Structure 1
Amino acid sequence: MSVTHALEADVLRRQDPELAGVLLGELERQSAGLQLIAAENFTSPAVLAALGSPLVNKYAEGYPGARYHGGCEIVDVAERLAVERAKRLFGAAHANVQAHSGSSAVLAAYAALLRPGDTVLALGLPHGGHLTHGSPANFSGRWFDFVGYGVDAETGLIDHDQVRALARAHRPKAIVCGSISYPRHIDYAFFREVADEVGAYLIADAAHPIGLVAGRAAPSPVPYADIVCATTHKVLRGPRGGMLLCGGELAERVDRAVFPFTQGGAQMNSVAAKAVAFGEAAAPAFTVYAHQVVANARALADGLAAEGLAVTTGGTDTHLVTADPAPLGVDARTARGRLAAAGMVLDCCALPHGDARGLRLGTAAVTTQGMGGREMARIAALLAGVLRGTAEPAAARREVRELAGGFPPYPGRIPAEHG
């Protein structure tokens, strides 16, 4: 099952050329533009090979050695590998690698520790909280009583005094620390202290920084949180999916919260791909990569600030940068559209002050492609030119294609008719 089959889909091209064209078109889109979405990355060919393996055929409800289906002796090996590698990589007593997504992992953490109606303290959605942190459109907001803390309007940093005051006032059953757009390290020791003071569980939603944690480029929540929820894509470069890390005393509760409470059978091809990613993240090269991701984010933040964008918190400690394009005379939604037309794909996000929206950029994918500080400066200048309107759209698109073309994510994998 080679990566050539996974990417070029020779069999699919013969059997279903229409869908094969879709797959190849997406590969070209990813290769010809700049992928700056903070939640995205390029997996390795080995991860892709595992995803396209015969393990996709196997039904495996339950856990290794205790399945509800026969014929699981091989997939049991894959899951045990994933679990042991995750435990070693993150220094955790227990790991559950079956969660289908980051949201599934958070749901399982809540199911393990909470009951409907319990009070939970989490970063408010207008300040960078995730949907699973209390959105009324999400299970979290419907089943639990969420109280939102925020960030300081001037600095953009988490307001620790507010966190402590709200915890004392509401006595939550759990406190959640984590964000989809917070560019600074989270002080897990502080949150542990507050949780202990009010008798709350601490849940770390580390979906964004977990890859940096693996690469020793960010502090780990594992020593502080009762449960750590995370994704296996983003900086970690694994397949789309989730995982949970916890101490031994919560292992059974976490496992039962994943299966049978919130999910059915594990996706064994994805579990195997997670094992591959954990193995790759344990290698010295990944530590170099993770630190380069952060260096690139800082260079990009500096470049955007120099071009006149208002970079929140004055910079970043992580892989993501948030910035307000308003000083260049454009709102975030319009900015995102202009940049997408030029081949620069990124997201909008909430900003600390008022109801304003900004841009959220990430450097994981471009770093995987091999880009460095020089390229980050070029990206910042390109972005600003597009937003100011000083860069002609067609010319900007050509420059983006030229830049991306010098750093193909999967060299030699786009057929000539699609290149």
Structure 2
Amino acid sequence: MAFDQPLDRTVPSVADAIDRERDRQESTLGMIASENHVSAAVLEAQGSTLTNKYAEGYPGGRYYGGCEHVDTVEAEAIERARDLFGADHANVQPHSGTQANMSVYFAVLEPGDRILSLDLDHGGHLSHGHSVNFSGQLYDVEQYGVDPDTGYIDYDELERQARETEPAMIVSGSSAYPREFDYERIGAIADAVDAFHLADIAHVTGLVAAGVHASPVEHAEFVTGSTHKTIRAGRGGIVVCDAEYADDIDSAVFPGAQGGPLMHNVAGKAVGFAEAQTDAFERYAEQVVANAQRLADVFRERGLSLVSGGTDKHLLLVDLRDSHPELTGTEAESLLSDVGVVVNKNSVPGETRSPMVTSGIRVGTPALTTRGFDEAEMETVADCIVDVLDAPEDEAVADRVASRVDDLCETHPIYD
């Protein structure tokens, strides 16, 4: 019967697509800052029979029977998350970072309340109040930005905006801001205007867990994150918060923002969090940052303009308008994809092109670091990228870079 058949016999087209995707990941350099490669153990947990189990509610208080084993899994994920971030309470059920943010908004805000957050074109995220997202449709959104001369957030201006607009919540966090946030300063500003502080660490969850990036836990009532970027715990979201908000957050996640948790994903989080508690993971996180900073060094040496001049974390934002005004972000992404380097187009501060075209590219180091790349190899990768951008119509350059990419991928397989 079909129930017992393997995937390649049940739906060959899906099996083939999965095989091709694995080949694509193995044969290209994944440099999208929000992507990573999880371990075999996380893959095993996420592909387990836990996908069959409904478990609405929380450990010890489910709406379904038969939850004794998934209770064990979720309780472990919660405890490991609390330990990693030094938090009073953790909710590991959100399906994504966006749903983690949704749960915080639902817990303490009313529709029409004001949010002050980083502008999308300056590195912010859709779920921080963009008009196409629920957050921008339900709440009154004011946005702060970066100084056009430095590329850094101007905290004096942020404070001025906060005092003028009196938001109910200030959001710190980004998808394409290459510098650390001053969480202590933002927390103080929020306190001064009687606002909540939500720190969205989606991109730096793993760096914060490893202690190589500043932690906002002491300076924000709520901290949200993704579990599939720098922390390698499979796709999903997380919320940690002060004890006084624990019940509000739990109710906002379920039943407020979603129904039953994806218990196979919760298992992946438990495994990934366990991996993140090791010395090896701390070394990995340190290498992520070192690789990004070496990438930035070579880019600057070869004439690329970087927003804020560099990076404190795992990503760089390249502004092509000065060095390669003839290239759009879309064109640069395509040129690099053709030689096996996968990045994404990205808006830059002062953007004049549409989000589907853009004037910049975002480049990240988490996935290559997982594969074992160090600073010396990042120099090679950086040179490959600039070579292609400098000679977009030179087929000889493209062929040479593609061959070098093949060599690097063969030297550093993801799954042996």
**Which TM class, normalised by the smaller chain length?**
over 0.9
Q: Does 1:372 align with 2:374?
A: yes
Structure 2 residue runs without a partner (length 5+): 354-358
Contact 2:121 2:350 in 1 (8 A): no
> Structure 1 CA distance, aligned partners of 2:12 and 2:404?
31
Deviations 1:61-104 (A, max 9, x none): 01011111110011000000000000011100000000000100
Please give the alpha-carbon distance, in whole angstroms, between the structure 2 residues aligned to 1:22 and 1:132. Answer: 30
Alignment of 1:36-55 (within 5 A): 36-55=31-50
Residue in 2 aligned with 1:384? Answer: 386
Mapped pair 1:18 → 2:13? yes
Question: Given residue 347 of structure 1, which amino acid in structure 2 is its aligned partner?
Answer: N
Pick one of 305, 309, 317 that aligns with 2:304. 309
From 365, 369, 372, the counterpart of 1:363: 365
How many residue pairs match? The answer is 402
Q: Give the AA of the match of 2:363.
A: L
Identify the residue that residue 332 of structure 1 maps to in structure 2: 329
Q: 1:332 corresponds to which letter in structure 2?
A: G
Q: Which letter does structure 1 place at the counterpart of 2:142?
A: V
Whether 1:321 and 2:322 are equivalent positions in the alignment is no
Aligned partner of 2:73 among 57, 78, 87: 78
1:335 counterpart letter in structure 2: A
RMSD over aligned CA atoms reads 1.2
**Which digits, 9 at most, give the CA deviation of each residue in 1:126-164, with x for residues without a partner?**
211100111111101100000000000011000111110
TM-score by length of 2: 0.95
The match for 2:190 is 195
- Asked if the contact 1:154–1:353 (Cα under 8 Å) also holds between the matched residues in 2, the reply is no
Q: 1:129-278 counterparts in 2 under 5 A?
A: 129-278=124-273
Secondary structure, counterpart of 1:69 in structure 2: coil
Q: Find the counterpart in structure 2 of residue 393 from structure 1.
A: 398
Q: Determine the structure 2 residue equivalent to 1:118.
A: 113
Asked if the contact 1:294–1:317 (Cα under 8 Å) also holds between the matched residues in 2, the reply is: yes
Q: In structure 2, what residue type is equivalent to 1:369?
A: R
- Give the counterpart letter for 1:54 in structure 2: T
The TM-score normalised by the length of structure 1 is 0.94
Question: In 1, are the aligned partners of 2:205 and 2:231 still within 8 Å (CA)?
Answer: yes
> Which of 405, 409, 414 is the matching residue for 1:404?
409
Give the CA deviation at 1:354: 4.4
1:347-378 per-position Cα deviation (integer Å, ceiling 9, x unaligned): 12222234362111110000000001111111
1:3 corresponds to which residue? none
- Secondary structure of the residue aligned to 2:6 is helix
1:126–1:355 contact (8 Å) kept in structure 2? no
**Rounded Cα–Cα distance in structure 2 between residues aligned with 1:178 and 1:355:** 23
2:230 alignment partner, SS class: helix
Cα 1:372–1:45 change in 2 (3 A) is: same
Q: Give the aligned partner of residue 279 of structure 1.
A: 274
1:136 & 1:123 partners in 2: Cα distance?
13
Q: State how far apart, in whole Å, the 2-side matches of 1:205 and 1:367 are.
A: 23
| CA deviation map 1:210-266 (0-9, x unaligned) | 110111110111111110010001010111100000011000000000000110000
The residue aligned with 2:348 is 351
SS at match of 1:235: coil
Amino acid at match of 1:164: E
Q: Where does structure 1 differ by over 4 angstroms across 4 or more consecutive aligned residues?
A: none
Gaps of 5+ in 1: 1-9, 412-419
Give the letter aligned to residue 250 of structure 1.
Y
Q: Is the 8 A contact 2:332 2:345 kept in 1?
A: no
Please name the residue that 2:338 is paired with. 341
CA contact (8 A) 1:134 1:141 kept: yes
- The correspondence for 1:288, drawn from 256, 259, 283, is 283
